[in-house]
Structure 1
Amino acid sequence: MSLSFVIESWAACAPGVDTPQRWSQWAAAPWLPEGEPQVALAAVAPMLRRRFAPLGRLAAQAAIDLAGAVTLPEDADPDDNPTVYASRYGETGRCLELLADQARGDALSPTAFGLSVHNAIGAMIALTRGDRRNSSAIAAGRATAAAGVVEAMALLDDGARSASLIVYDSPLPAGYASFEDEPSAHFAWAWQLRRPRAGERALHLDWQAAGGDAGAMPPQLPASLQALWFGLSDAPELVQQVDGRRCVWSRDV
Structure 2
Amino acid sequence: MKRKHLLSPILLCILTLGWPLYSCREVGRVLPLEVSLDVLESDEPVVSVVSLGPEHRRTDSLPLPAEGRLTLSPDTTLYKELLLGYDEGRRLRRFVLRDRSWVEDLEADSLLPMPKKMINFNAVDVEGKHRILSDLSEAGPTVLVFAHPVSRQTLDSLRRDSLVRAYPQDSLRFVYMMLEVSSSVVRDELRRQRLKGIAFSDTLGIVSRMRAAYGLERSARVEAFVIDSLTQLHHLP
What TM-score, normalized to structure 1? 0.25
Q: Greater relative contact order: 1 or 2 (C-alpha under 8 angstroms, separation 6 or more)? A: 1
Larger Rg over CA atoms:
2
- Bigger strand share: 2
What TM-score, normalized to structure 2? 0.26
- Bigger helix share: 1
